[in-house]
Amino acid sequence: MKILVTGGAGFIGSHVVAAYRAAGHDVAVVDTLVTGRAEYLPDGVRLYRVDITDPELAEVFVRERPEVVNHHAAQASVTASVRDPAADARVNVLGTINVLEQARRAGVRRLLFASTGGALYGEPETLPVGLDHPVRPLSPYGAAKAAAETYVALYDRLFGLPAVILRYANVYGPHQDPYGEAGVVAIFAEAMLAGRAPTIHGDGTQTRDFVYVGDVARLNVLVTERALAGVFHVATGVEVSVSEIHERLAALTGYAGAPQHGPPRPGEVYRIALDPSETVRRLGWRAEVSLEEGLRRTVEWFRTRAARGHAR
């Protein structure tokens, strides 16, 4: 199958691309390499260094003629979206519309859209959050993803572009950027291995639903290879506090210091976990990598990275 992955050199996208290649698919990638890295791509993958908001994207679709588009390119920081909502919307809304329009024109058979569960629902009424929970984002990032989901569903109804929306919990694992403002596991692991105190924004009792990136990539392949449509949670359904993540990573890295504390970040929810039962029922998928094992793999990747003297 010919698949075009936007954001395919990024954290999650690169794992999805590798999983596609392992399954025997023909893959091309669109990525600006602003946060993505070409070195994360396996052999045999064609890379187009194009912004999804750029008209030049049309040329990629004409050249590749993909059967499936997997749209992962995004501005992924809640904090950055609060600072500059227009910049966030330019990428996450207008960029998505450009991807959808080019997919429609190219006759793409199906589209997968990487959305968010953590930022979409706002402070949840019940936990874990079901797919029927009201969408009430607290940040421009969540609002932009909600708007993009609306356009994805619209292109399905209006133009017959079948789509699957994947609402991710807090994805973590190798390739995650420790220098940005998203990805507490990566940020903590990199700081601890360097002997620096990580900063917990808030008191540490806030919770997230952590799902390992390898499980996420496996689900993307599963959805791509089946004739499915609809919305799915990609999650464990389990709340884990930020303080517990600090404790577990400290044990894995040998870090003995105490964390620093900063003020809570505006736009971020306090508690969240997503109910994956519908994903389990319809796909037979569930997260297989335990938090302990996933954190161990992540720390080992960052340790190897540090040993190689990698710098951003």
The residues annotated with a catalytic role in the active site are 141
39 residue type, one letter? E
